[in-house]
A = this chain, B = another copy of it.
Amino acid sequence: MQKHYLLTPGPTPIPPEVALKEALPILHHRTNEFGTIYKDVVEGLKYVFQTKNEVYLLAASGTGSMEMAIANLLSPDDEIIVASCGNFGDRWIKIAQSYGVNVISTSVEWGKVVNPAEIEKALKENPNVKAVYTTFTETSTGVVNDIKKIGEVVAKTNAVLVVDAISGLAGQEFRTDDWKIDVVVSGSQKGFMLAPGLAFISFSEKAWKLTEASKLPKFYFDIKKYKKSYATNETPFTPPVTLIVALQESIRLIKERGIENMWNDYKLLAKAARSAMKALGLELFGEVPCEVVTSACVPTEIGGKIVKTLREKYGVSIAGGQGNLKGKIIRFAHMGYIGKADLLVGFACLEMTLAELGFNVEKGKAVAAAEAALLDS
């Protein structure tokens, strides 16, 4: 009977009208009926991605679409630049190295944002670089990178720009075409308000040219297979039908609200979350905080216990730090189907949790700060 409040950066809560679509009788995937849904979903994805490029769907975690963006663009011993600022950025390096690709790193310390000038310098010094890989919102630390600026830098070269927008898409301003991003990968379980299991990838013309020369082995992740099936509103392998049917509903909700309104909604939630953290006396973590998750430093003596206590006593799930940040930060998500009231629930329970763990906290203060920020919009 524990009631759950999910304030984690993925999976995020699913609106009931979306969740119920998952329970509808299943359709066969090689039918006109499913094809119509698939086509509608693809158009919706293009809207959320803000792109005219095709967007492909596959059954995989977000990491699967990241691997797709490595395996289809490169050959062994190719050079790439990875600009990482956290755990998910580092994943680009690990995938590339698994495939024998040479990584030139312009990575920065976790908590910082990547430096477009460093990428520019690395591109000049390494004219053979095939692609630059980076992250939009890095949820492991809670920062957002200046993808628009990076897009300007990379577009002037022969390299393509690949961005992991798994957590930020539909949560914070992101414009694939205007920002000149060649490949964007994303997943279902964050801003799309859906269960995990579906991944997305968009490919520009410039990126398609690279696929012609790519010699890395691939089969399930071979994007040419997806492009071929796309022409008939199909996927090369049996797709996760129920998730795609549910995605149509969540895209309908996104369109109804309007993507720019959604960006503004989360911007406000982010402002309120930052105010609440400060009111608790917790220092914000991250050079440029993103608008889908708020990270704050916590005293290391209670750092490991906050997430556990919140979940076990109140059913509230937030996230702790990853890697070296374990026990040092907490991460409070405001993406997808998380609203104002959820934020207040989260901070009220966080106040009680901190008090229980012996942290000096003035009860109600974080909630008051969040309320003030929310009312100030």
> Which residues of A pack against B, CB within 8 Å?
2, 4, 6, 8, 10-14, 16, 19-20, 22-29, 31, 33, 59-64, 67, 94-95, 98-100, 187, 189, 195-198, 216-222, 237-243, 311, 317
Contact = CB atoms under 8 A, between A and B. Distances in A.
Nearest to A7: B28
A61 B14 contact: no
A237 B63 contact: yes
| Most chain B CB neighbours (cut-off 10 Å) among A95, A195, A216 | A195
Contact of A22 (B13, B23, B95, B100): B23
B61 A239 contact: yes
Contacts of A217: 98-100, 216-217
A4 to B, nearest CB: 6
Contact of A243 (B6, B12, B23, B195): B195
| Most chain B CB neighbours (cut-off 10 Å) among A24, A31, A60, A220 | A220
Contact of A4 (B25, B29, B62, B198): B25
Count identical subunits in the complex.
2
Label chain A's interface by main secondary structure.
loop
A25 to B, nearest CB: 6
A243 B197 contact: yes
A329 to B, nearest CB: 16
Nearest to A16: B23
A98 B218 CA distance: 6
15 contacts: A4-B25, A13-B26, A14-B242, A19-B25, A20-B23, A22-B242, A28-B317, A60-B60, A61-B237, A62-B237, A98-B219, A195-B242, A196-B240, A197-B239, A197-B240
Given A239-B196, A240-B195, A240-B197, A220 B6 contact: no
Contacts of A100: 217
Given A61-B237, A196-B238, A237-B61, A11 B23 contact: no
A178 to B, nearest CB: 29
Contacts of A10: 238
A54 B267 CA distance: 45
Contact of A31 (B29, B218, B317): B317
A238 B61 contact: yes
Given A10-B238, A59-B61, 15 more contacts: A2-B33, A4-B25, A11-B26, A12-B26, A19-B26, A22-B242, A26-B195, A28-B317, A31-B311, A64-B237, A98-B219, A196-B241, A197-B198, A197-B243, A240-B240
Contacts of A239: 61, 196-197
Contacts of A23: 16, 19-20, 22-23
A234 to B, nearest CB: 13
